[in-house]
Amino acid sequence: MNEPVVITEPAAPAAVAAAPRPSLVGLDRDGLAAALRTLDIPEKAVRMRVSQLWNWLYVRGVSDFDDMTSISKDLRARLKESFGVARPEIVAEQASVDGTRKWLIRFAAREPGERPAEVETVYIPEEGRGTLCVSSQVGCTLTCSFCHTGTQKLVRNLTAEEIVAQILVARDRLGDWPGATPPEGAFVPTDGGRFVSNIVMMGMGEPLYNFDNVKTALLIASDGDGLGLSKRRITLSTSGVVPMIERAGAEIGVMLAISLHAVRDELRNELVPLNKHYPIAALMNACRNYPGLSNAKRITFEYVMLKGVNDSLDDARQLVRLLRGIPAKINLIPFNPWPGSKYECSDWETIERFAEAVNKAGYASPIRSPRGRDILAACGQLKSESERLRARERLALAAMIGSDG
């Protein structure tokens, strides 16, 4: 493959869609039990029914009640009358030359008259692991100056169902369920592992501004009897919503990533305007107190490399000073350009010098290799339907990133 492939072309969104039946997807065990009780299932059978549904939904990945063959036909029919388990619509699917896949997913209106919501989800296959980058909101209320998503106004928070559905859709499309066949051209894991082995909440939106739904969804994703992703393989990235960081650690318990990007308040106020509410010192304090923090469970600090803005050796030294005493690793992210962005990515030598300085101080400092740039799937490039790129902008982008993808 030399060209990125558009597998499905976007279709125009329906103006007003009817509200679907409530979905069972995204319900935790208590939620499933409550749903079953509305059908007058005998109390002594509820637990068993919950575990059957759990298995069909999250282990087998079925999206039709008729496939739940361990449940009687009669009960299946009653479930079908009241609830749904169908997947959201995949509006567009693109495959990058590097194997990255991006889906534009449309969620039906939740009530009559509401417009459907669209988000992007990205799958990044790597040696030994496959990472799914999941969105938590449609758009984002925070306006980080280097982020494409930040230029799209928030439409709404995603529900737990919609967050979980992104994982289910990815597993469908990758053939990542027991007995399923992977699609042609898929990068099949060579170690016998799952296609989706890791999740990063690094898609569109600020996950800690949608705490309850993100929590429910991630607890479902990490349930050992269900989707089964270890909490160590799930990372929640925040731009620094300080008051929610402790709860994230205590109640969700996944790995934490902080979008730091600057070591001085003056600059961080500009790059990540949320810094005006929660300045660097307060953020570092919250990190120090992150529940479960240890050398085996470090916080990842993300640092986007912006030419002439935050990439000096002095910045690197200050970064090291700032992180003193926090079990940390630093992820350097080459800036991904988007049409209209006012920054440039630092030169490669500058990034390497920065990485070396941080590394010498004892911190792992991997440079994140940009993936899926040709399909605008890299960090900070996501943005959905309402403002999809025009052909002219696509050409401008192609010129910006050259032919290396």
User: Quick one: tokens of 159?
Assistant: 């529900």
- Does 234 interact with ligand SF4 (rule: CB under 6 A)? no
Q: Which of 147, 200, 214, 351 binds ligand SF4 (CB under 6 A)?
A: 147
Output the smallest distance, CB 242 to ligand SAH, in A. Answer: 13
CA distances from 323 to 136, 244, 326, 358, 379 (A): 27, 20, 6, 11, 23
Q: What is the DSSP string of 81-125?
A: HH-B-PPPEEEEEEE-TTS-EEEEEEEPPSSTTPPPEEEEEEEEE
Q: Smallest gap, in angstroms, from Cβ of residue 233 to ligand SF4?
A: 21
Euclidean distance between CA atoms 370 and 277, whole angstroms:
30
DSSP bridge partners of 23: 84
Q: Looking at residues 256 to 285 of the shown chain, list those that interact with ligand SF4 (rule: CB under 6 A).
A: 259
CA distance 311 to 267: 12
Instruction: Classify the C-alpha dihedral 328-332-337-342 as positive or negative.
Output: positive
- Does the footprint of ligand SAH cover residue 237 (CB under 6 A)? yes
Question: Using the rule CB under 6 A, which residue among 150, 207, 226, 253 binds ligand SF4?
Answer: 150
Work out whether 120 is an interface residue with ligand SF4 (CB under 6 A).
no
| Crossing angle between the packed helical segments 43-54 and 29-37, to the nearest 10 degrees | 130
Q: Which residues make beta-bridge pairs with 200?
A: 133, 235
Radius of gyration of the chain (CA): 22
Q: Tell me, what DSSP letter sits at residue 306?
A: B
CB 123 within 8 A of CB 170: yes
Exactly one of 32, 138, 144, 218 binds ligand SF4 (CB under 6 A); that residue is 144
Question: Catalytic one among 89, 93, 118, 120?
Answer: 120
Residues in CB range of 185: below 8 A, 6 or more apart = 1, 95
Window 278-337: residues binding ligand SAH (CB under 6 A): 302, 304, 333, 335-336
Q: Which of 144, 287, 379, 385 is catalytic?
A: 379
Please report how close the Cβ of residue 275 comes to ligand SF4 at its closest, in angstroms.
Answer: 11
Q: Is 155 in the site for ligand SF4 (CB under 6 A)?
A: no
- Selected range binding ligand SAH among 93-101, 173-181, 237-245, 352-360, rule: CB under 6 A: 237-245
Minimal distance, residue 262 CB to ligand SAH, in Å = 11
Site membership for ligand SAH, residue 374 (CB under 6 A): no
| Among 100, 149, 198, 384, contact with ligand SF4 (rule: CB under 6 A) | 149
In the complex with ligand SAH, the residue whose CB is nearer, 148 or 233, is 148
Has 120 been annotated as catalytic? Answer: yes
To ligand SF4, the closest distance from the beta carbon of 244 in angstroms equals 13
**Of ligand SAH, ligand SF4, none, which one sits near residue 41, judging by CB under 5 to 8 A according to partner kind?**
none
- Longest Cα separation, the chain: 69
φ, ψ for residue 110, nearest 5 deg? -90, -20
Please report whether residue 28 would count as binding ligand SF4 according to CB under 6 A.
Answer: no
- For the chain, report the end-to-end CA distance as a whole number of angstroms: 12
Query: Is 268:240 a contact under the CB 8 Å cutoff?
Result: no
Length of the chain: 405
Q: Is 147 a catalytic residue?
A: no
Assess 146 for contact with ligand SAH (CB under 6 A). yes
User: Min. distance of Cβ 151 from ligand SF4 in angstroms?
Assistant: 8
Give the C-alpha separation, 18 to 318, whole Å.
54
Report the residue number, 23 or 210, with the smaller CB distance to ligand SAH.
210
* Whole-number Å distance between alpha carbons of 126 and 100: 9
Say whether residue 238 binds ligand SAH (CB under 6 A). Answer: yes
197 binds, among ligand SF4, ligand SAH, none (CB under 5 to 8 A by kind): none
Any contact of residue 379 with ligand SAH (CB under 6 A)?
yes
How many residues touch ligand SAH under the rule CB under 6 A: the total is 17
What values do phi and psi take at 294, rounded to 5?
A: -160, 175
Q: Which residues bind ligand SAH (CB under 6 A)?
A: 144, 146-148, 202, 206, 237-239, 259, 302, 304, 333, 335-336, 379-380
Residues classed as catalytic? 120, 379
Q: Which residues bind ligand SF4 (CB under 6 A)?
A: 140, 142-144, 147, 149-150, 205-206, 239, 259, 380
